[in-house]
Amino acid sequence: FDQEKKIKNRESFSFWIPSQSNVCCPFKLTLSSLIVARVEHLSPPAKMKIMVAVKRVIDYAVKIRVKPDKSGVETQNVKMSMNPFCEIALEEALRIKEAGLASEVVAVTIGPKQSIDTLRTGLAMGADRGIHVEATGDLFPLAVAKLFKALVEIEKPGLIILGKQAIDNDCNQTGQMVAGLLGWPQGTFASKVVLDKEKQEVMVDREVDGGLETVCLNLPAVITTDLRLNQPRYATLPNIMKAKSKPVKKYTPEELNVGTKSDLEVVEITEPPKRKAGVLVSSVDELIDKLRNEAHVI
């Protein structure tokens, strides 16, 4: 079917506000009995690796313009930076490592040649190693998830953390698809993550429509981060210098045996229609007249 992509207004992240209908305080629901984790292999607890996905997107402060030919969004001469949710994901991974619960944080990016800059930012924040899968063209979440699965089979991490969505396509699919492909449990929209190494499980507070939901996942697991999880750290100058010498491994989709051709094709991208000015009506009759004859809604 026709797919019309809407360019969202970039001015604010989707600020989620808990609905206060029946709930006066967030409720906890432990679903550990309902979530079945198929544990394929337990890495030795001491050497747990965390894999973090980072994506190079148009900087959130930039005003987006649609290309005149409607084939996409203007990306030439536009500032690019790391997806804000990916920064939060990386920050969480670094905190887990600094707490001694993980030994290594690997930052992974999938994208064109310039994505290496984003990876270097991730390394400057504190990731130990980087992996760059060089792939050009539009990559849809399923292809990204498949590439991820291939990398997981090589790297064998104990935890995967991703941002909940990328601010350029707002898909909110990759994390879930990765978990599905691997058969791992997932804790999405995480606003709090507590790792228990002894029991090899992680408690994730999820921001859901009704409030907060706490799930307990067996490791290895997939977590996607939401806005309120943490405040990402700044990359300091000395760390940026050190990042230059951190190793980055390159792959291509062919090397990983993953086909990136998608069944979806973006047909057209247009700006949202301009808001028309409102009209003040002077009487109820006029309102009814407009509703009937102009708007055709009654």
Residues at the site binding other proteins, with contacts judged by CB under 8 A: 11-12, 59, 61-63, 65, 77-79, 81, 230-234, 236-238, 240-241
CB of 123 to other proteins, least distance (A): 15
Residue 252, Cβ neighbours under 10 Å: how many? 13
Strands (E), 4-94: 4-6, 49-53, 56-58, 80-82
Residue 103, Cβ neighbours under 10 Å: how many? 16
**In which residue are the tokens 């051709």 written?**
261
Tokens in use for 166?
């990328």
CB of 232 to other proteins, least distance (A): 7
71 residue type, one letter: S
Q: Which is nearer to other proteins, 28 or 63 (CB)?
A: 63
Cα 58 to chain center, whole Å?
14
CB of 118 to other proteins, least distance (A): 13
Q: Which is nearer to other proteins, 137 or 272 (CB)?
A: 272
CB of 145 to other proteins, least distance (A): 30
Q: Which is nearer to other proteins, 66 or 266 (CB)?
A: 66
Q: Which is nearer to other proteins, 78 or 264 (CB)?
A: 78
Q: Which is nearer to other proteins, 32 or 239 (CB)?
A: 239
**In this structure, what is the dihedral angle of CA atoms 137, 140, 145, 150, given to the nearest 10 degrees?**
-30
CB of 245 to other proteins, least distance (A): 9
CB of 91 to other proteins, least distance (A): 8
Tokens in use for 194?
């507590």
The residues, ordered by sequence, that sit 6+ positions from 190 with a Cβ below 8 Å of its Cβ are: 92, 204, 205, 206, 207, 223, 224, 225, 226, 229
Q: Which is nearer to other proteins, 24 or 280 (CB)?
A: 280
Backbone CA torsion sign across 16, 180, 108, 264: negative
Q: Which is nearer to other proteins, 63 or 292 (CB)?
A: 63
d(CA 258, CA 153): 13
Residue 295 φ/ψ, nearest 5 degrees:
-90, -15
CB of 277 to other proteins, least distance (A): 9
Residue 200, Cβ neighbours under 10 Å: how many? 19
CB of 68 to other proteins, least distance (A): 8
The residues, ordered by sequence, that sit 6+ positions from 39 with a Cβ below 8 Å of its Cβ are: 218, 219, 220
Q: Which is nearer to other proteins, 240 or 248 (CB)?
A: 240
